[in-house]
Amino acid sequence: MLAFPSTYSVGITSLGYQIVWATLAQRSDVDVRRLFTDQGDAMPRHIDLFGLSLSWELDGPVLPVLLQNQRIPVWALERGDEDPIVFGGGPVLTANPEPLAPFFDAVLLGDGELLLPAFIDALQSCRQAPRAERLRQLAQVPGVYVPALYAPRYDSDGELIAVEPIDPAVPALVEKQTWRGNTLSHSTVVTPEAAWPDIHMVEVVRSCPELCRFCLASYLTLPFRTPSLDNGLIPAVEKGLQATKRLGLLGASVTQHPQFADLLHWLDQDRFDGTRVSVSSVRAATVTPDLGRILAKRGSRSLTIAIESGSERMREVVNKKLTTEAIHEAARHAKQGGLSGLKLYGMVGLPTESDEDVEATADLLLALKKGTAGLRFTLGVSTFVPKAQTPFQWQGVRPEAEKRLKRLAKRLKPKGIEFRPESYGWSVIQALLSRSDRRLAPVIAAVGEGRESMGGWKKTYRAALNGELQPMPGPNLPSPPPWSAVIHEAWEASTTLPWTHLRGPLAPTMLRDHHDQALGVESAQPPG
């Protein structure tokens, strides 16, 4: 059974979920059924595997509910030989699975193209063995993390010291696996019921060469990979356009594919008249009138560009290689090409950010509107959330971000710029799930339906601090750290991170070097 922690329309739009399902469905030795929060395929009488694809922290707490609904013991340590192996994957679990680790028997760290076949093969080879033996066999597969075979160790103050294997035969360090093949992924299901109806999605690039210091999509998925045009992208597009006239080109920075201009001009052929093409985020410096013209001709109305901040100083801090002039030029080129709108994405609360930097973002938007009359501008702004396996994993959420969101709204809304802020409160919960260790698991199990409200999370976390929650099975762990220590505090380089036993593409020493380089910009160029 392959589950997604949201509704069918959302889940079936996830390219990652589609690829995992298709990979399993293609095997003759696997009968895979799908499960969403609002529906599911007909279930067999007995299931051997229960999988979860997780791409967003706030979806994680749905897992205990899904398990309860399927009458599967919520805690991995309470499952017996007849219970299914519960496994998960996706960027959230690859970065830091620890808050959800006690619910999983196995977590697949990295790209499914490599991991899934190896995982299933290993299970098939020991299918009749007792559960404990199966788990030990899985722990030998590169990239497969079996939480029950690792134990966190704390000092007398409740500070995490290490996460260590309980058996010397188990690897001390579990490394993320990276697919390096010539092809990436594309839709296997096209349906009008998806959140993006009738769209065929094609992954144009994986990762991003820019390495913005906060960016999980960039750092976690290194190296930057691009399929070839003739053997990868064009066949994937042709296949999808047999079923639909809507095409979505996906990736963290699709226009940085070395053959993107060739792909675009191929799509400019008359035979694609009537086909609607949309692209995800593009780099401002890659926007040309030709890009705008072809996308407008193929039904797109706007472009999306991540600017992070209107302040050049802040863009240097986060390693956003983008000048203010390049942003203005992108707006001019978009309008010149025939597009009617430009969607910009930014952040507040980034490390070292000042009020002046936030004002610079408002100033930039107002200057863009004035300088490119007739183009519709939208600004989406989120609060910075530290992500594991990135250089800013040691930073915290800055409380002043909430006021800065309001400051931007006050300046931009009256001037006709559409302002779309993400909830500061839910960014706080996202950080809680991103930075915690296993001590958060009882909170996740207890919050239940309260996970849909900020009050529910805070009340349940207070109960955990007071020792009022039902403990999870296994050795007793200390109480979780104070709320602010997890969410708001900047951690020292010497801090033992909850994911210390898991390795992404870059070693922690290199991530810390990138962190220090980023904050060094601030000391060289103070705000104001």
223 falls within a domain: yes
pLDDT at 30 over 80: yes
The CATH number of residue 99's host domain is 3.40.50
267 falls within a domain: yes
pLDDT category, 526, cuts 50, 70, 90?
very low
10 falls within a domain: yes
End position of a domain, from candidates 116, 151, 186: 151
> What pLDDT sits at residue 181?
77
pLDDT at 367 over 70: yes
Q: Are 372 and 331 in contact (CB under 8 A)?
A: yes
190 falls within a domain: no
pLDDT at 463 over 50: yes
Gap between the Cα atoms of 208 and 518, Å rounded: 18
> What pLDDT sits at residue 129?
97
- Per-residue pLDDT, averaged over 63-76, amounts to 96
Q: Are 247 and 275 in contact (CB under 8 A)?
A: yes
Q: Does 76 lie in the same domain as 18?
A: yes
> What pLDDT sits at residue 444?
97
End position of a domain, from candidates 394, 417, 432: 432
Q: Are 389 and 216 in contact (CB under 8 A)?
A: yes
Q: Does 251 lie in the same domain as 270?
A: yes
pLDDT category, 184, cuts 50, 70, 90?
confident
493 falls within a domain: yes
pLDDT category, 522, cuts 50, 70, 90?
very low
Gap between the Cα atoms of 144 and 147, Å rounded: 10
Structure tokens at 359: 């004002």
DSSP state of 525: S
Gap between the Cα atoms of 86 and 399, Å rounded: 37
Q: Does 230 lie in the same domain as 82?
A: no
Per residue in 307-327, pLDDT (tens digit) is 999 999 999 999 999 999 999
Q: Does 406 lie in the same domain as 457?
A: no
182 falls within a domain: no
Structure tokens at 369: 């509107």
Q: Does 423 lie in the same domain as 476?
A: no
Report helix, strand or coil for 365. Answer: helix
Length of the chain in terms of residues written: 528
Q: Are 291 and 255 in contact (CB under 8 A)?
A: yes
Q: Are 268 and 294 in contact (CB under 8 A)?
A: yes
pLDDT at 218 over 90: yes
Report helix, strand or coil for 264. Answer: helix
> What pLDDT sits at residue 233?
95
pLDDT at 114 over 90: no
The β-bridge relationship of strands 341-348 and 302-308 is parallel
- 253 vs 430, residue with greater confidence: 430
Torsion sign over Cα 213, 215, 220, 222 = negative
- Per-residue pLDDT, averaged over 374-386, amounts to 97
pLDDT at 524 over 50: no
Q: Does 317 lie in the same domain as 281?
A: yes
Q: Does 359 lie in the same domain as 282?
A: yes
Q: Which domain holds residue 21?
A: 2-151
Q: How is 371-439 classified by DSSP, letter by letter?
A: HSTT-EEEEEEEE----TTSGGGG----TTHHHHHHHHHHHHGGGT-EEEEPPHHHHHHHHHHHH--GG
Query: For residue 510, what are the contacts with CB-CB under 8 A and spacing of at least 6?
Result: none
For residue 12, give Cα distances in angstroms to 184, 186, 254, 312.
Answer: 18, 13, 22, 39
> What pLDDT sits at residue 528?
34
- Per-residue pLDDT, averaged over 400-416, amounts to 98
For residue 101, give Cα distances in angstroms to 141, 146, 428.
Answer: 18, 8, 21
Per residue in 273-312, pLDDT (tens digit) is 999 999 998 999 999 999 999 999 999 999 999 999 999 9
To the nearest whole number, what is the mean pLDDT of the chain?
Answer: 94
Structure tokens at 245: 């006239």
End position of a domain, from candidates 390, 415, 432: 432
- Per-residue pLDDT, averaged over 124-138, amounts to 96
For residue 490, give Cα distances in angstroms to 363, 405, 426, 465.
Answer: 29, 21, 19, 21
DSSP state of 87: E
**pTM, two decimal places:** 0.95
pLDDT at 527 over 50: no
Q: Which residue has the tokens 């092809």?
A: 183
DSSP state of 255: G
If phi over 0 gives left and psi between -120 and 50 gives alpha, with beta otherwise, what is residue 515?
alpha
Structural domains in the chain (count): 3
- Per-residue pLDDT, averaged over 247-271, amounts to 95
Q: Does 446 lie in the same domain as 421?
A: no
Our CA angle for 66, 70, 72, nearest 5°, is 95
Query: For residue 287, what are the contacts with CB-CB under 8 A and spacing of at least 6?
Result: 255, 303, 305, 329, 330, 333, 334
Q: Does 219 lie in the same domain as 142?
A: no
The CATH number of residue 416's host domain is 3.20.20.70
> What pLDDT sits at residue 10?
94
Query: For residue 330, what are the contacts with CB-CB under 8 A and spacing of at least 6?
Result: 284, 285, 287, 303, 305, 342
The β-bridge relationship of strands 34-35 and 376-383 is unpaired
Gap between the Cα atoms of 100 and 434, Å rounded: 10
Q: Of the ranges 98-102, 112-116, 185-189, 523-527, which is most confident?
A: 98-102
pLDDT category, 255, cuts 50, 70, 90?
very high
Report helix, strand or coil for 239. Answer: helix
What does residue 246 show for φ and ψ, rounded to 5 degrees? -120, 125
299 falls within a domain: yes
pLDDT at 525 over 60: no
Q: What strands lie across the sheet with 246-250, from one edge to the other? A: 200-203, 246-250, 276-279
Amino acid at 168: P
Look at residues 494, 440, 492, 457 and name the one whose alpha carbon lies nearest to residue 97: 440
Structure tokens at 185: 């992924």
Q: Does 259 lie in the same domain as 308?
A: yes
120 falls within a domain: yes
Q: Does 469 lie in the same domain as 417?
A: no
Q: Does 459 lie in the same domain as 395?
A: no
For residue 242, give Cα distances in angstroms to 63, 190, 395.
Answer: 36, 11, 47
